[in-house]
Amino acid sequence: MWYDKRFHSLNYALREHFDCKIIKLSIDGGFTCPNRDGSIAKNGCIFCSEQGSGEFASSSSLSIENQIEEQISLLSTKWPNAKYIAYFQNFTSTYGSVEYLKKIYDSALSCNNVVGLAIATRPDCLSIEVLNLLAEFNKKTFLWIELGLQSIHKSSADFIRRGYSLDVFDNAVNNLNERNIKSVVHIISNLPTESKEDYYSTLKYLNKKPIWGVKIHMLHILKNTDLEKYYLQNPFSLMNQDDYINLIVHSLEILRPDIVIHRITGDGKKEDLIAPRWTLNKRAVLNGVDKLLKSSDSYQGKLYNP
């Protein structure tokens, strides 16, 4: 349906647009977050690591150009004809002055074979000035903005200490859509505050929104996070690999078929991951999803009812 997949993968979407292999390069723009610097709070989201959920990003001690050149030098042997998306991944990558944002985004696009930008941020860090800047970049490159929603439920937002209300997310998506800027939404499964039906209701809510993509994350418990402390004091059950594969297949069945699936599993650094350890075998999860979709003759959007 989408090449060899039964869901609308990011690989499919990018190959359809660029007609070549596209690789994301995780870049550290030297940002912090209003949930850390005291503007909203100081401890960040409960699951957030010391790297601002950017464990695999380059070092901010290097210039943007050097970060990109370093990563390309490692990847170009395997994919000599690839092109690249500069992914500003960790912390809140629109949380700075418009002048600074323009400078680092331009720096990334100045590098050879960089054909687009992916920018991870918070919905409450998209001022009109920042939105207008993003609209300018959207006219000259392939751009998407990633928004950390995680859940539509207030109890979950309070638990993870998200720091903004659902209407802020809605406004951000609408503001991006009005400027024809693609939005990608992060959600987390297995939150201890939610049932599976609560989680699925977040997917159904997103079906009604003008979004381009979704990233689904399994809740990871990492060392030196407040979630680690909570888990040790208040143990809660985590899904096993088979349960998670079943959850992802049902998630894909629910989601609109045009929504681009950017991620269906993730992995923390091996030395930092406390649980669930099975997520380290990312290939087994991906293969398991493909196998179950095929054996059950299922596909993305099978249960979607507009």
Q: Each residue of 8-31: pLDDT tens digit? A: 999 999 999 999 999 999 999 999
pLDDT at 55 over 60: no
pLDDT at 54 over 50: no
Residue position matching structure tokens 């009109």: 128
Cα–Cα distance measured from residue 48 to residue 31, given in angstroms and rounded to the nearest whole number: 14
pLDDT at 52 over 70: no
pLDDT score, position 202: 98
Cα–Cα distance measured from residue 99 to residue 106, given in angstroms and rounded to the nearest whole number: 11
Q: What is the mean pLDDT of the chain?
A: 94
* One-character DSSP codes across 115-126: EEEEEEE-GGG-
Q: Which of 46-55, 180-189, 271-280 has the highest mean pLDDT?
A: 180-189
pLDDT at 217 over 80: yes
3-state SS, residue 198? helix
Q: Each residue of 60-77: pLDDT tens digit? A: 789 999 999 999 999 988
Q: Are 158 and 165 in contact (CB under 8 A)?
A: no
In this structure, the strands spanning 221-222 and 83-88 are unpaired
